Every structure is written in C-alpha cells, then in structure tokens.
Structure 1
Amino acid sequence: MDPATIIGIGLALGGILLAIILEGSSPMSVILPAPMVLVIVGTLGAALAGSRMADMGAVVQALIKAFTGKAVKPGATIDVVVSLAERARREGLLALEDAAKDVEDQFLRDGLQAAIDGTDPEDLREMLLAKIEVKKGTDKVGAKFFNDAGGFAPTVGIIGTVVSLVHVLENLSEPDKLGHMIAAAFVATLWGLLAANIICLPIANRLKRLSETECAQMELVVEGLMAVQAGANPRLVAQRLRSLVPEEKAKAGAAA
C-alpha cells in the first residue's frame, strides 16, 4: 500500500489542529455537529445529484482504492514479459500456455492467452487498447465525484454560515451571546474549505494519478505482448520496454 494519501491528509489536519492550539483555542471549538452535518450531507447530496446511483458502487471502490492502492512496479512486469519472450523465442508461442496460468497481472494474462489462441496482432492490439480506454472511463467516475464534491463543499459551507448568521440576527437582543454565535457561524465555512481542500480534491487527484500510472503500465504490457507475439529478441524487448519508463522506476520495480 502506498501511504501518501493517509500521510498527506494526516499532516494537513495535524497542521490545522496545531494552528488552533497555538492560537490559544481548543480543537473542540470547531467540532460542532450542526455545521459538520450540513457540510458533509449537503456536499454529498450535491455531488450525488450530478452523478448516477449506478455510479455509487464505483465511487465507494474508488475511495477505498485512494487509501489502499498499491504502487505500480514497471520493472517487475518488464522482467515477466522478457522471460515470456525468451521462452517463446526458444520453444514457440504455444509453449507459453502453461506459463500464462501463473501470470498474476490479469491484463497481461488475458492478452497473452489471446496471443496464444492465434489472435491477429492488429486485432489483439486494438482489443487491448480498447480495454485501456474502458478503464480510463471507469476511473474517471470516482475521480469526478470527489472533484465535484471539492467544488461544492466551500459553497455549502458558506450556505451554512449564512443560515447561522440569520439565527444571529434573530438574537440581537442578547448581545452577550453574539460573539459566540458569530464565531460558531463561521465554522461551517471552515469545514467547507477543509472538506474540499484537505479531503475531496486530494482524493480526486490521487485517483487520477493512480489511473495514469496503471494505464501507463497497461500500455507497456501491450508493447511487450506485441513483441512476444512477433518472436522478438528478448534483449531488444527488455531495452524497448525499459525505455518506456523512468530509469529509477524500472530499477525499483525489478528490485521489488
């Protein structure tokens, strides 16, 4: 698991709490149920209104993935493809049928099986690239939801502040309570900004980044499979695939 999201959100929230404490206030002064409920429920409702109910399963999965997604290891995949190329060049493509069952990468396994079954190279490439496009579209669902939520949250927070200020104006006859009520009114704006910039938008960006790296990995697999199917020299296959990823990533993946 790549802990970047957990660490980043934790650091941001920790910095905010530390600032509150250094100001001489208490963190409990901003933990008020009413504005928190308004911002959370209002933001989720607004984001849901711009989506489909059928998308909610993908959104939940995307949220889990944002915190538990694993780092892609290009070097490890390259080593697998090169070993397949060596065996295919030595024994023929049909000899890879048993090896295909042991390949962990589902995309690579499916593509390899299609190649073994005699799929035309151009048809195989088009099929694999189509799968990548479908994945990109699926990944956009979760990222869009959280990006939309990040846009709505500050406005919902302002709505909460306006609602609270209306309540303040209703109680002008009690000046001794106005300071506390006005301070509490702005807590909704704080939670709206916090939800957008510390939680929703970072999660959306994380999902986009994961999708980019995973799709780049799939594109690398496509190039490798084309070379394996063509019976290319394994050494040239390795050089070709390693040229498609940053050197440090290729080395890190191979060492993992």
Structure 2
Amino acid sequence: MDISVVLGIVISFGALILGYTLEHGILSSLFLLSPFVIVFGGTLGAVVLSYKLTDILSAFKSLVGTFFNKSMGNPTKVIEKITFMADACRQGGILKLQELINDSELNDDEFLVLKSGMVLALDMKSDEEIQYALESNIRVYTAQKQLEVSVFTSAAGFSPTMGVIGTVMGLIQVLSNMTDAASLTASIGVAFIATLYGVVLANLVYMPFASRLKGVLKRQQILREMMTEGICMIARGESSRSIENKLSVYYQLFPHGDKKYKEGIEK
C-alpha cells in the first residue's frame, strides 16, 4: 500500500483526536452511531441518485488502485517499449510493427493507446492522422476519469449538508423533550456530532480521495501523450535515441523523475 495513505489517515485523524483530548474532551462522546448513519447514509443515497451505479463502482475501483500504486503508470517502461519498437522499425520498416503488435502486454490498459497507434501506423496513416485519432482517445479517457473524480467531489458537497440535517433532527428531538433541563446542554452537544461527521468526512475522506484520483488522471494523461508522441515519431522514422531524448522530459512529472530526465537527455 502507498505509505502516503497510511500517513495521511494517521496524521489527520490523529491530530483531531489529540486536539480534542488536550482540551479534556471525552473521546467516547465523539463516536455515535445515529449521526454517522444519517450523514454517511444520506450522502451515499445522494451520490447514488446523482450517478449511474456503474460510474460509482468504477470510481471506487480506481480509488483502490491508487492505494496500491496500480494506476500510477511507469514512464520508464513506456519509453523502453517505444524505443524498442523504433529500433525494430528502423531495421525492418514500419511493417515490423505487425510482429510486435501481438505482444500480450499491449493488451493492458496502460498500453492500449500505444497499440491503437500501432494499428493506425500499419494502416499507413500519416503522423497527423495518428495524432488526431489518439488525442480523441485521450479525451474520451479523460472525460470518463473526470466523472469518477466528480463522484467524490459530489460526496464532499453533500456530506456537510447531511451533517446539518442530522444536527437539525437532533435539535428537534432535544427541544421536544425539554422536561429535564439538566441534560439539555449535553443533548445539544450530541446533536452537533452530525455536523462534525459531515465536515470531517468531506474534508478528510471525500476530497482527499478526489485529489488522489486527479493526480492519477494527470499522470495517466501524460503517459498517453507520451505514447501518442512516440508512435508519431516512429511513423516519421525517427531514431530510438532521438525519441528517448524527446520523451525523457516527461520523467519530471513522476516520482524520482529528475534523475531519469537527466539520464535521458545525456544519452
């Protein structure tokens, strides 16, 4: 699992709990089932009402992938594959791609854009036509992923409102049972737990989830742009060294990329 996920959870929730206990708050008073049911259940219902179930499931699947770095992409692997293809085509012509297109690895989602470009190159399309087709592919991919991001940004918008609704419901219950004035103050405090849950879930769960997906989307867009540029350069007959030198600039957008970028331009 990505260590940043664990650190983020520990730091954010740890800070809240520590701050509350430093003010001599009773920790058990923060954990109540009914406000959580109202806030989480209401938010979930609003999201389900707003999106297709397939989009919601796809968003959660993509999110889980970010926890284990399955969606981050590997620019080194992409560049190595492109330069290998470039060498093969320089030696045997563009039709050499026909032998390489059956590589099972190209069926992975990570390389589908590259495979599509190879098919277009084999059809003797110009590099402008290849670029236009692959950029359309990237636009469709981006639109789908932005929809997944919006699932969590919508949840972040609904959650505080559901917290307020839960608090209002709690206050109605409190005010309808005012016979015991001594317990009135404590009951009002309990009613505001729903607002706390709504704000915490929005800012420490849903928005960070959306931000993780945005980061992955940006890197996946870059990888697809790398593949688009790479296959267009192959179609133009450029050398593998020239291709690697030009594509190495993209390393800077990935973890530990500066070193790889310098290595790429020094070749």
Unpaired stretches in structure 2, ≥5 consecutive residues: none
Structure 1 stretches of at least 4 aligned residues deviating more than 6 Å after TM superposition:
none
User: Bigger CA drift: 51-60 or 41-50?
Assistant: 51-60
Q: Indicate if the aligned counterparts of 2:117 and 2:231 stay in contact, CA closer than 8 A.
A: yes
- RMSD value over aligned CA atoms? 2.4
Q: What TM-score do you get using the length of structure 1 for normalisation? A: 0.89
Aligned to 2:207: 201
Aligned to 2:59: 59
Aligned pairs for 1:72-221 (under 5 A) are: 72-102=73-103, 103-104=105-106, 105-221=111-227
Aligned length: 255
Distance 1:253 1:2 in 2: 24
Distance 2:231 2:180 in 1: 76
CA drift at 1:251: 4.2
Q: What TM-score do you get using the length of structure 2 for normalisation? A: 0.86
Distance 2:63 2:242 in 1: 40
Q: Residues 237 and 98 of structure 1: is their aligned pair in 2 closer, same or farther, counting only changes over 3 Å?
A: same
Distance 1:203 1:54 in 2: 18
Amino acid at match of 2:97: L
Aligned match of 2:249 in 239, 243, 252?
243
User: Bigger CA drift: 18-27 or 144-153?
Assistant: 18-27
Q: Which has the higher contact order (CA 8 A, sep 6+)?
A: 1
Amino acid at match of 1:94: L
* Cα displacement string for residues 153-198 of structure 1 (whole angstroms, at most 9, x for unaligned residues): 1111011111111111122220222232112111101100111000
Amino acid at match of 1:45: G
Q: Percent identity?
A: 29
* Cα displacement string for residues 14-56 of structure 1 (whole angstroms, at most 9, x for unaligned residues): 2222223333334321110100000001112222333234433
Q: Indicate if the aligned counterparts of 1:63 and 1:142 stay in contact, CA closer than 8 A.
A: no
Distance 1:72 1:121 in 2: 25
* Cα displacement string for residues 53-95 of structure 1 (whole angstroms, at most 9, x for unaligned residues): 4433323323323423433222331122112112211222222
* Cα displacement string for residues 198-255 of structure 1 (whole angstroms, at most 9, x for unaligned residues): 0001111111111111011100110000011111122211111113442852645999
Q: Indicate if the aligned counterparts of 1:75 and 1:253 stay in contact, CA closer than 8 A.
A: no
Amino acid at match of 1:118: M
